[in-house]
Amino acid sequence: MAIGPNVYDAEPIPDSARTEIEHLLNSGDLFRYTASADSPVSLLEQEFAKRLGARYAVAVSSCSAALFLSLKALGLPRDARVLIPGFTFAAVPSSVLHADCIPVLCEVGDNYRIDMVDFEARLKDVQAVIISHMRGHTSDMDSIMALCNQRDIPVIEDAAHSLGTTWHGKNIGTLGKIGCFSFQSYKMLNAGEGGILITDDEEIFARAVIMSGAYEHNWKKHGHLLNSFTRWQNKLPLYNQRLSNLSAALVRAQIPELARRVRDGRANHDYVAAHLNQCAHLHVPEALAPEERAPDSLQFNLAAFSEAETLAFQAAARANGVPVQVFGLSTDNARAFWNWQFIGEIPDLPKTRAMLMKACDIRLPARLTRAELDFISEALLSAVDEVKTARRATG
Ligand SMILES: *Cc1c(COP(=O)(O)O)cnc(C)c1O
């Protein structure tokens, strides 16, 4: 069993976090609304909104909380139907249920992007859409926004794993009405847990702020939108999904690292992808033309592999030191829609299912060196050789 590069560990938190955290430890000032102004959470909201090019941001306890609050902030009635991709993380249908809405799944193609024919067909009786930029893959946002705008259907972007990606040069998360991001440890900015939503819509912002837990007049610490906030005062439930100052201090210290993480993550991805694409049995789908990616992982499809060969490939890659996840083949995988039994009846999505049975997933953090990337490419390419040669040998 070869030992490959460690792809699971996060990067160390930059030293610049220490001064702020030391201050928080000394003062005990961990709650975002204790200080009269400029708490670390408020500063994070201002910096994040400015950086992404959005008017408003609300920091919350997770991206799941951000998705839930987005649906609530849109004022969707109970049992509203919300279209989501059939390839996403279980947190997405869960947030829809949490908001008392009904998830409607649509097909995803073997390039990991929403199947636009199926998307359009399912739009007719939905009241909102959540687009998951799953593993940072951007679906055809031009068509999605045009179809949804024609029908006045609000679009929420689940950009949990897509921070730093752009579409026609515009930041992902600013294309729809609301964009949601995660600060969980596997994402671009790591606070262990946390999330943030961004929007240009003053009413949605005011509603999300209050429902996130800005009780009494704490909304005054979110800027000067007096009319919007007083309109919703005492009219909305307080779900208390706030972020703590400690988490915000951790995220803020990493914002200066973002450009480097995006640049190196993209270079690493493209380097390994070019190697894998030289093998006829492996295929890394191309990004759509308007997309500039910010990957921290790599997905590729196995071409002309039986299920037995796929399992043999996985075992060979593991023995070579590189664990590969095939979304549809691991038991209870949270990204395989047939495991979302909590949503009730699970639809038949043959395209998405076929993709999940051959789509391989490896982590590829920005901190990896060229030698480590070469190790990974070699491990995968020789795993293919082992499986396909063995097959020829046994006829
Ligand atoms: C991680 C992730 C989420 C959930 O984020 P949390 O902050 O853990 O709630 C949702 N959607 C996608 C695509 C993700 O990658």
Å from CA of 194 to ligand 1 middle: 10
- In this structure, are 244 and 269 located in the same domain? no
- In this structure, are 64 and 189 located in the same domain? yes
Which region, left, alpha or beta, applies to residue 178 given φ > 0 means left and ψ of -120 to 50 means alpha? Answer: beta
**Residue 367, number of CB atoms within 10 A of its CB:** 18
pLDDT of residue 226: 84
- Does residue 30 surpass a pLDDT of 60? yes
For residue 352, give the CATH number of its domain: 3.90.1150.10
C-alpha torsion 355→357→358→361, nearest 10: 90
What average pLDDT does the segment 363-370 reach? 96
Å from CA of 285 to ligand 1 middle: 22
**Could you identify the atom of ligand 1 that is nearest to the CA of residue 183?**
7
Asked if the structure places residue 10 within a domain, the reply is no
Q: Give the residue whose CA is nearest to atom 13 of ligand 1.
A: 134
Q: Does the Cβ of 64 fall within 6 Å of ligand 1? A: yes
End residue of a domain, out of 254, 273, 301: 254
- In this structure, are 175 and 51 located in the same domain? yes
User: Could you give the CA distance from residue 90 to residue 64 in angstroms, rounded to a whole number?
Assistant: 10
The two tokens of residue 147 are 């179809």
Asked if the structure places residue 3 within a domain, the reply is no
| Burial letters 89-106, b for 16+ CB under 10 A, else e | bbbbbbbbbbbebbbbbb
- In this structure, are 219 and 98 located in the same domain? yes
Task: Indicate the pTM of the whole model.
Answer: 0.97
Short-list 284, 286, 255, 64, CA closest to 163: 255
Q: Does the Cβ of 132 fall within 6 Å of ligand 1? A: yes
The larger pLDDT score, comparing residue 114 to residue 392, is at: 114
Q: Report the residue among 139, 182, 325 best suited for mutation to probe ligand 1: largest number of ligand atoms under 8 A from its CB.
A: 182
- In this structure, are 351 and 319 located in the same domain? yes
Short-list 132, 165, 144, 146, CA closest to 287: 165
Å from CA of 300 to ligand 1 middle: 21
What average pLDDT does the segment 49-62 reach? 98
- In this structure, are 220 and 307 located in the same domain? no
The two tokens of residue 175 are 């294309």
Asked if the structure places residue 183 within a domain, the reply is yes
pLDDT of residue 392: 62
Asked if the structure places residue 12 within a domain, the reply is no
Asked if the structure places residue 8 within a domain, the reply is no
Q: Does the Cβ of 302 fall within 6 Å of ligand 1? A: no
- In this structure, are 194 and 270 located in the same domain? no
- In this structure, are 246 and 325 located in the same domain? no
Q: Does the Cβ of 182 fall within 6 Å of ligand 1? A: yes
DSSP code of 114?
A: B
> pLDDT > 90: what percent of the chain?
96
User: pLDDT category, 307, cuts 50, 70, 90?
Assistant: very high
End residue of a domain, out of 239, 254, 269: 254
The two tokens of residue 199 are 């929007």
Q: Does the Cβ of 159 fall within 6 Å of ligand 1? A: no
pLDDT of residue 394: 56
pLDDT averaged over the chain? 96
What average pLDDT does the segment 70-97 reach? 98
- In this structure, are 194 and 340 located in the same domain? no
- Model confidence pLDDT, tens digit, residues 232-258: 999 999 999 999 999 999 999 999 999
Q: Does the Cβ of 178 fall within 6 Å of ligand 1? A: no
Q: Which residues contact 149 (CB under 8 A, 6 or more apart)?
A: none
Q: In what order do the strands lie in the sheet with 166-167?
A: 170-171, 166-167, 291-292
Short-list 258, 211, 206, CA closest to 231: 206
**Residue 64, number of CB atoms within 10 A of its CB:** 24
Contact 185, 159 (CB under 8 A): no
Å from CA of 93 to ligand 1 middle: 11
Asked if the structure places residue 278 within a domain, the reply is yes
User: Could you give the CA distance from residue 79 to residue 219 in angstroms, rounded to a whole number?
Assistant: 29
Domain residues for 341?
257-394
Q: Does the Cβ of 296 fall within 6 Å of ligand 1? A: no
Q: Does the Cβ of 160 fall within 6 Å of ligand 1? A: yes
**Could you identify the atom of ligand 1 that is nearest to the CA of residue 65?**
9
User: pLDDT category, 225, cuts 50, 70, 90?
Assistant: confident
Q: Give the residue whose CA is nearest to atom 14 of ligand 1.
A: 160
- Does residue 166 surpass a pLDDT of 70? yes
What's the total number of domains in the chain?
Answer: 2
Asked if the structure places residue 116 within a domain, the reply is yes
- In this structure, are 197 and 265 located in the same domain? no
User: pLDDT category, 102, cuts 50, 70, 90?
Assistant: very high
Q: Does the Cβ of 165 fall within 6 Å of ligand 1? A: no
Q: Give the residue whose CA is nearest to atom 12 of ligand 1.
A: 160
- Does residue 259 surpass a pLDDT of 70? yes
End residue of a domain, out of 210, 227, 254: 254
For residue 71, give the CATH number of its domain: 3.40.640.10
Å from CA of 323 to ligand 1 middle: 22
- The helix or strand, by DSSP H or E, that contains position 146, with its residue range, turns out to be helix 141-150
Q: Report the residue among 89, 133, 135, 156 best suited for mutation to probe ligand 1: largest number of ligand atoms under 8 A from its CB.
A: 89
Q: Does the Cβ of 161 fall within 6 Å of ligand 1? A: yes
User: Could you give the CA distance from residue 170 to residue 103 in angstroms, rounded to a whole number?
Assistant: 28
Asked if the structure places residue 335 within a domain, the reply is yes
- In this structure, are 176 and 105 located in the same domain? yes
- In this structure, are 266 and 230 located in the same domain? no
